[in-house]
Structure 1
Amino acid sequence: MSRPCRSTTPAPYPPLRAHPPADAGRRRLLAATGMALALPAVPVGSALAQAPRTVVVGHLVDRSGAQADLARDYLAGAKVLFDAVNAAGGAMRIRHVVRDADPDPRRALAQAVSLADSEQAGLLFGPGDRLLPVLASSVELVRRGIQIVAPLSGLALSADNVWFTRADYQAELDAAAQQLRGYGLTHIALAVAPDFAVSSLARLEAQTGTRAVVLEGTGEAAARRIAAARPGAVIVAGDTLAYAGLGRALAAQGWYGFLVGLSSVSANAAREILGRGYAGGLVLTQVAPGPQQATLRVVKEHVARMKQYLDEPPSPATLAGYIGAAWLARSLQGARPGGTAELRRALQGRVDVGDFTLDFTHGQRGSQYVTLAVSGAR
């Protein structure tokens, strides 16, 4: 596996601030016209303007798994970027072919192969945790030269055809521990779901100064053990159910400190599970700038396009999908016609998507950006 390169965009320690959640349940497509992406202008009478090059991007969306809410938002963010590219005209058009992924990863792999063969998709965008390992290990996709770009997943995989626009879960855990200490919280507990991939648990235990508590069953035993130690924050390595389930169990023990989860957690679903009366601080890692960082050009651009194309507010997941799609679109602008080698060469660059840079010149992970943001606290 190539050594992950670090984004030139720093991972700041901003003040913890609340931001409004997205309503992932209401999506109405509006007119696909308006604000144009800043792409190279093409003379109206040129051959390129008359016959733009079409790039087919396949997208399998997991609407039934633990990341369903995140996957829908990620799709929304990517779609508004691709729509803006096509509305701008120019030398390239992106055909974004979306399919609902089969719950069985093996059948979902067959769908991916079909996208490559029937739709001529050379790229697969945004797979999540359940699907990415199957796609990344597929000989059939490698044989076809399919590149897997901007996964929603934070799993650490070494496949040569996977291009990550985000940090992995281990980097999120490391950064969460470091930033919490930077905020002055020294007494930190660690809870780990048994099925969650943590590549270096020993290092994380050293960072937090505590032994990890394994979440088993209802989480009540883990909650009793953690609450008895009265930590200021608990870092949870797990999905939405593990995170929110532990939060409920801790609340039953009278603990309402900072409950820190990863980008694998859906803020909306977690709040529903915890209930309106939950009084603790919900803190989640973000692997891309969030809506609260409104001074960044990419955030302002994304907020405007979400208003223009979709009837919903932005979220951290829509922004992450938008950034991944923006990187892909701008990388492909310089691609020459050709096969897999030319496509890979186009992806191996350094792209500023608007005060946020993705750098693939030294490896296939373009960013190590991680920061913390309050999702909902009473």
Structure 2
Amino acid sequence: MKTLHPLGQTLIVAVLAFAGAVVHSQDGVSKTSIVLGQTLAMSGPGSSLAQSFHQGAKLYFDTVNAAGGVNGRKIELVTLDDQGNPANTLVNTKKLLDQGVLSLFGFYGSPQVTAAYPLIKDGDVLLFAPMAAADEFRGALYANVYSLRPGYSEEAAAITRHAAALGARKLAILHANDGESLAALESAQRTMTSMGANLLTTAAFTGSKVGGSVDKALAPGPESVLVIGDSQSAALVVRELRAKGFRGPIYGFSNTGESLLAELLGKSGAGVVVARVVPKSDGTKVALVRELQADAAAAKLGKPNVYMVEGYIAARVYTEALRRVSKEPTRAKLRKAIEALDDVSIGGFRVHFVEDRVGSRLVELGLIDSQGRVRE
């Protein structure tokens, strides 16, 4: 997939926007613009996922701005590159807060959110729609985080029910060692065992040599395997599992990237089941996805993936909240507008924040078929 801008151009745009935004009020609102702050991996680990999320969000904000913005104000998404490093996320978040933004938006990675949160914990700035699924963000300790995706425990529950229906209760987990994967692993161990899965072993993998880890996972005779990692690393592990003769169901969490994994695996992905927390990226049933596909085609961005869908949804929901605020938005009014979204249809995607800081509980399982396509 093409990116919205080459990386250099994207960062230049971000820097210019950042410099220009200094003139805005402390709450990131002027007579002509509303400024949101975002830091995520535009380069480095996780960049293939984070860039797609950013791309989808910016695509929708650009569409809104081309139509005149919200109540005459353009939405400025100031994006800084943290290279997937939580320490950089902390530094970038401080920069964004110092300049004055209405809110933070669309961070990527559970360790990154954890690193940045102390800066907003006791204030009035909220973080909207981080692409991070650690369960704790949905609890009372992260009261300024408003998520659009459920936590890993809910993905783990859906996978456990599916495996049980197939009679596959003996489970092995293969996982990467990055912070996001470890957050997913903790949820999987806790949730799946509590639901009756027999977790035989866990095995970590790093780099391109995964054979030893796969051998360890297969040694006790699992009936299903959960692979936790990004699409590139997960594809290596899936191929190795099949090469070593494992024919049972293989599962992945949403951070594996259903559509990305399918493209990498092709026919060798047959029988892999991956959780997703947004509608299918190449589907036609949901109006929002059809509109994204049309917008992406008009912008010559290529075929959307699940992370682009997630960013596009996040931008649409945020814009819907802005439209419900009075003509003079503030941080307090924005929070109130988000919390008033009561089973709202956003192009067929249901969002509910009333008495809940998690706007969607959608978890769907997609099956990769023998043609490398994702089926419901």
CA contact (8 A) 1:236 1:259 kept: yes
Q: Shift of the alpha carbon at 1:248?
A: 3.7
Preserved CA contact (<8 Å) 2:171 2:225:
yes
Change over 3 Å in CA distance of 1:375–1:277 after alignment to 2: closer
Query: For 2:226 and 2:368, how far apart are their aligned partners in 1?
Result: 14
1:230–1:255 contact (8 Å) kept in structure 2: no
Residue in 1 aligned with 2:289?
299
- AA at the equivalent of 2:256: V
- In the TM superposition, what are the counterparts of 1:1-378 in structure 2 within 5 Å? 23=1, 25-27=2-4, 54-89=33-68, 90-91=70-71, 92-118=73-99, 120-129=100-109, 130-136=111-117, 138=118, 140-142=119-121, 145-156=124-135, 157=137, 158=139, 159-182=142-165, 184=166, 186-187=168-169, 189-193=171-175, 195=177, 196-197=182-183, 198-199=186-187, 201-207=189-195, 209-217=197-205, 219-224=210-215, 226-227=217-218, 233-240=224-231, 243-266=234-257, 270=261, 278=268, 280-336=270-326, 337=328, 339-350=330-341, 351-375=344-368, 377=370
Structure 1 residues 208, 225: closer, same or farther in 2, change over 3 A?
Answer: farther
- Specify every segment of 5 or more residues in structure 2 that has no aligned partner in the other structure, as ranges: 7-29, 372-376
Per-residue CA distance 1:61-98 (angstroms, 9 max, x = gap): 21345422111111111111101111122514211112
What is the alpha-carbon distance in structure 2 between the residues aligned to residue 192 and residue 308 of structure 1? 40
Give the superposed CA RMSD: 3.0
CA offset at residue 57 of structure 1? 1.2
Q: Is the 8 A contact 1:57 1:96 kept in 2?
A: yes
TM-score, L = length of structure 2:
0.77
What is the Cα deviation at residue 377 of structure 1?
Answer: 4.1
Verify the 8 A CA contact 1:284 1:374 in the aligned structure 2.
Answer: yes
SS at match of 1:99: strand
| Secondary structure, aligned partner of 2:148 | coil
The 1-side partners of 2:329 and 2:66 are apart by 25
- 1:170 deviates by 1.5
1:33: which partner in 2?
none
Could you tell me how far apart the structure 1 residues matched to 2:83 and 2:47 are?
A: 12
Aligned residue identity for 2:225: V
What's the offset of the Cα at 1:250?
1.6
Q: CA deviation at 1:289?
A: 0.6
Query: Using the alignment, how far apart are the partners of 1:353 and 1:279 within structure 2?
Result: 32
Q: Tell me the distance in 2 between the aligned counterparts of 1:340 and 1:252.
A: 54
Distance 1:279 1:332 in 2: 41
Query: SS of the counterpart of 1:284?
Result: strand
Instruction: Report the Cα distance in structure 2 between the residues aligned to 1:161 and 1:133, rounded to whole angstroms.
Output: 12
Task: Indicate the residue corresponding to 2:9 in structure 1.
Answer: none
> 1:259 offset after TM fit, Å?
2.3
Percent of pairs with identical residues: 23
C-alpha separation between the residues in 2 aligned to 1:287 and 1:70?
A: 14
Q: CA distance change for structure 1 residues 353 and 311 in 2, over 3 Å: closer, same or farther?
A: same
TM-score (norm 1): 0.76
Q: 1:334 and 1:279, CA in 2 relative to 1: closer, same or farther beyond 3 A?
A: closer
Q: Which amino acid aligns with 2:49?
A: L
Closer, same or farther: CA 207–235 of 1 in aligned 2, 3 Å = farther
Structure 1 portions without partners, runs of 5+: 1-22, 30-50
Runs of 4+ in 1 over 6 A off after TM superposition: 271-274
> Deviation per CA, 1:250-304, whole angstroms, max 9, x where unpaired?
2341224432111111457757876x78464333211011124311111111111
Relative to 1, partners in 2 of residues 1:292 and 1:187: Cα closer, same or farther, differing over 3 Å? farther
SS of alignment partner, residue 77 of structure 2: strand
User: SS at the partner of 1:190?
Assistant: strand
Number of the residue aligned with 2:15: none
**Whose RCO is larger (CA < 8 A, sep 6+)?**
1
Letter in 2 for 1:355: G
In the alignment, the residues of structure 1 paired with residue 368 and residue 55 of structure 2 have an alpha-carbon distance, to the nearest angstrom, of 20
